[in-house]
Structure 1
Amino acid sequence: MLKRFLSSTIICVLSWTTSMANNPVQTASHIRTVQLHKKGWSMSQPIINLYPSEQLTLSFDDFAYESKNYQYRIIHCTSDWEESNLMQTEYIDGFMPNSVDDYQYSFNTTFDYIHYQLDFPNEDIKLKLSGNYIIKIFELGREDEPVLIRPFYVTESMVSILPRIKFTSNSNFRGSMQEVNFTILHPNFRINNPREELKVVLQQNGRWDNQIDNLKPLFIRNEELDYTYNRENLFDGGNEYRWLDIRSTRFAPEHVSEISFFDPHYHFTLFPDKLMGRKPYFYREDFNGRYYVDVKENRDPVIEADYVYVHFRLPVQAPFVDGHIYVTGGLNDWQLNSNNRMEYNFNTHMYELTLLLKQGFYNYQYHFLEQGHTKAEVERFEGSFVQTENDYIIYVYYRSVGDNYERLIGVNISNSIKHSLSK
């Protein structure tokens, strides 16, 4: 069955080019469950300090029967994810490419896969500069055909970032949007022309499509830069993420209507999801879109967690002609493409999608992308509430006239509830 599945799947190996269009995530179809995080902290963002040096862990599954000679290369990028005009020796201490040698075969699973893991920086390479980076994985001799690309960040922590996440003062969006103001303090870091030398990027949870990257300081004081807007820094509050528990193939948890076994694979059919936009806000603790791999019937989820088919269903009376619906979250790196786009079933009057997921606990949402747009709409199916708990990441980049690359001089991760969301 696995052979038939792989042969019927168009295995599109995606090449990395010099322009990422602010979204460098790419994955070949035979690569699954790619995770990149701080070593020992699986739910963290892929952000590390340059000094003191920290490590990241990259892991992924390859649907294959035999191991491959995978190599990796790390590339320094601009804040827009274009390759920097730097020599490798300027930002790496060591030689590349290097091998990915840590791998294990899956055990007692219906899908055969090989789990790879890499910790870096390591004894082979050290990072010398801050900024945006990508790591790409490829087979030996096929560097121009990477099987996966993932971004990560290295910060110098030269400035302090003080966030203020609040109800917006704009009355038109007061019930549905969150205002992200902040101040940058730089008493020990000289910035001569902050409007030209600095670039700030704001992200909500892990989303790429709605990030804000064009803010300039409104007020410049002595060693203090103030970013207090009332429109340009607004994010849809959205809603708490829906959850999916597929850790057990024996017992159906809440939201799962049926677990079926069609030899040799498992299928999880979910109850039709409800439209949350028409309901009042209700706090539900979530992971802000992230997920973790786990299995109840076995001991080692890394290689004993199986892959199962999950059938999503969203009731809609008639199909939309002005755009598409996507199931999104950390389960697909918040991508909006054909792999997670739902199709309308005229017989059931529902949008439907089947995803192949590794056993674990997942967050997800339904987003609508209008034709001709790049930013997805969350309110149509999830609702948008100012009370919603979200994580916000603020990246501060610096480049003076004489610099030949952008330094990442500060990063702040803030939670809308923990940072006193208030009127």
Structure 2
Amino acid sequence: MPFKFIAFISVLLISNLAFSQVEEVNPPDYIKTINFKGNTPETQLPILRLGEYVILEFDALNGDEEDFYYKIEHFNFDWTPSALVKSEYMDGFDNQRIRNYENSFNTYQIYSHYTLTIPNAQTRRLKVSGNYMLSIFNSDDTLVFSRKFMIYENTANVGVHVKRSRDVQFIQEKQRIDIVIDSNTMQFNNPTQNVKAVIVQNNNLKTAISNIKPQYTIGNQLIYKYDKETSFWGGNEYLFFENKDIRAANTGIQSIDLQDLYHNYLFTNFERVTRPYTYNPDINGNYVILNIDAEDPGIEADYVWMHFSLLPVESLKNKDIHIYGNFNNYVIDENTKMIFDESRNVYTNTMLLKQGFYNYKYIVANNNKNIEEGAISGNFYQTENNYKVIVYYRDLGARYDKIIGLGEGSSVNISN
């Protein structure tokens, strides 16, 4: 094979790797409770205004007090690497050790609790808006896990309105998002090519609808009134439990047992797809770490083996059923899979979780990828969901995608 041909193939492969979309890396089993947030209580998907801070917290349950390091990278709207070098988007340095950590106090489960705040003394400022990835490495420079976050400039107004589907087939099950974007400080050049919107439901980037282009314009207003293109399944309200006091019965917990650690057994759940919608306030899949007797739940909340159970129905036979929620960044893997217990005639799962208040639901995942979120809990247009619209803009000749605005809406006031 000629050398030039081999070189050409090598360059082609490297190019494809360099410009492929980046995905978050999930942590190993000994890393738990990754709490990633900005100046809001919502976790896992921080969307910050330029100049605001972001906080990452996580626990290492191996008891080694090992060193962890962080790196920050900038990306285009489609999560391909941007053309910017570090000095163009960062004031200071990354690849620094996380210096702030404490060991657990008065808990059965030993762990080290790490906290990273950005900006800090080493990473003084993130200078531009856009998509970012925060990656955590160990002392061997092995990637442990990574998380996405965004920074926006408040230069555009983003109106978000949640409507019922106009498709009669899905009018009872879907919600669609209407968007209006305008700005008093900038002129949109060639908006159908340069402006791109991403719609995120309940802070779950995995189900986001991306690369939505304006349907039409009125002056400097960009109007999005799609039906299918901006529609989401309504889903159902999340189930929840609370175990801020692991020694006493709390909301959703049927019984308690103490072995090596505390075990909490939840009431058995049932499918809701065939039942009418019932309003049940939730926090849209989120979770909060709590301990009723603690001054600092970060190091004083204990880990508990949570026992989930679900009654079987005929339609779920031979289906892969998983527990779903923001507690693990909506990851579907073997740890979330429900196993059928023939002796009890229920699906069961046991999961190690830190004390607190948790939202969760049961979903069907085919080959751990194709998620049917409403297969067990149903889809209802009345469900209260949170929607965020992130607007990207790349002006003529620019080298990166800015985030020029953030809009937010709730389906609590859904209209026709």
Q: TM-score, normalised by structure 2?
A: 0.90
Is 2:285 the partner of 1:289? yes
Q: How far did 1:279 drift? A: 1.8
Q: Give the whole-Å Cα distance in 2 for the aligned partners of 1:268 and 1:80.
A: 41
Percent identity (aligned):
33
Q: Give the whole-Å Cα distance in 1 for the aligned partners of 2:373 and 2:216.
A: 32
Q: How do 1:293-372 and structure 2 match up within 5 A? A: 293-317=289-313, 320=316, 323-371=319-367
Q: How far did 1:55 drift? A: 0.6
2:34 aligns with 34
Q: How far did 1:23 drift? A: 4.3
| SS of equivalent to 1:60 | strand
| SS of equivalent to 1:232 | helix
Is 2:254 the partner of 1:257? yes
> 395-404 vs 289-298, which deviates more?
395-404
Q: Give the whole-Å Cα distance in 1 for the aligned partners of 2:42 and 2:87.
A: 32
Is 2:173 the partner of 1:200? no
Q: How far did 1:365 drift? A: 0.8
Matched residue type, 1:396: V
1:7 aligns with none
| SS of equivalent to 2:376 | helix
Q: How far did 1:177 drift? A: 0.8
Work out which of the residue numbers 134, 146, 156 in structure 1 matches 2:153. Answer: 156
| SS of equivalent to 1:196 | helix
Q: How far did 1:30 drift? A: 1.2
Matched residue type, 2:376: F
Residues 243 and 251 in structure 2, CA contact (< 8 A), matched pair in contact too? no
Work out which of the residue numbers 57, 60, 70 in structure 2 matches 1:59. Answer: 57
Q: Give the whole-Å Cα distance in 1 for the aligned partners of 2:22 and 2:307.
A: 30
Q: How far did 1:28 drift? A: 2.2
* Residues 166-225 of structure 1, C-alpha deviations (whole Å, 9 max, x = no match): 112221111111111111113322222111112211110022332111422111221011
1:190 aligns with 187
* Residues 18-60 of structure 1, C-alpha deviations (whole Å, 9 max, x = no match): 6785742521221110111114x3336511111xx11111101
Q: Give the whole-Å Cα distance in 1 for the aligned partners of 2:315 and 2:275.
A: 22
Residues 159 and 408 in structure 2, CA contact (< 8 A), matched pair in contact too? no
Unaligned regions of 5+ residues in structure 1, if any? 1-16
Q: How far did 1:74 drift? A: 0.8
Matched residue type, 1:368: V
2:415 aligns with 422
Residues 161 and 409 in structure 2, CA contact (< 8 A), matched pair in contact too? no
Is 2:136 the partner of 1:137? yes
Matched residue type, 1:165: V
Q: How far did 1:331 drift? A: 0.9
Residues 234 and 385 in structure 2, CA contact (< 8 A), matched pair in contact too? yes
Q: Give the whole-Å Cα distance in 2 for the aligned partners of 1:29 and 1:81.
A: 26
| SS of equivalent to 2:285 | coil
Residues 319 and 344 in structure 1, CA contact (< 8 A), matched pair in contact too? no
Q: How far did 1:71 drift? A: 1.3
1:412 aligns with 407
1:90 aligns with 88
Residues 20 and 80 in structure 1, CA contact (< 8 A), matched pair in contact too? no
Q: How far did 1:415 drift? A: 1.5
Q: Give the whole-Å Cα distance in 1 for the aligned partners of 2:240 and 2:145.
A: 26
Q: Give the whole-Å Cα distance in 1 for the aligned partners of 2:226 and 2:318.
A: 32
Residues 46 and 150 in structure 2, CA contact (< 8 A), matched pair in contact too? yes
Q: How far did 1:317 drift? A: 4.0
Work out which of the residue numbers 260, 264, 268 in structure 2 matches 1:268. Answer: 264
Q: Give the whole-Å Cα distance in 2 for the aligned partners of 1:413 and 1:67.
A: 40
Q: TM-score, normalised by structure 1?
A: 0.89
Q: Give the whole-Å Cα distance in 2 for the aligned partners of 1:100 and 1:360.
A: 25
1:24 aligns with 24
Q: Give the whole-Å Cα distance in 2 for the aligned partners of 1:317 and 1:202.
A: 33
Work out which of the residue numbers 68, 71, 89 in structure 1 matches 2:69. Answer: 71
Flag the 1:22–1:195 CA change in 2: closer, same or farther, 3 A. farther
> 328-337 vs 41-50, which deviates more?
41-50
Q: Give the whole-Å Cα distance in 2 for the aligned partners of 1:98 and 1:193.
A: 41
Is 2:371 the partner of 1:376? yes
Work out which of the residue numbers 207, 219, 223 in structure 1 matches 2:220. Answer: 223
> 294-303 vs 272-281, which deviates more?
294-303
| SS of equivalent to 1:381 | helix
Residues 47 and 149 in structure 2, CA contact (< 8 A), matched pair in contact too? yes
Q: Alignment RMSD, CA only?
A: 2.0
Matched residue type, 2:235: G
1:122 aligns with 120
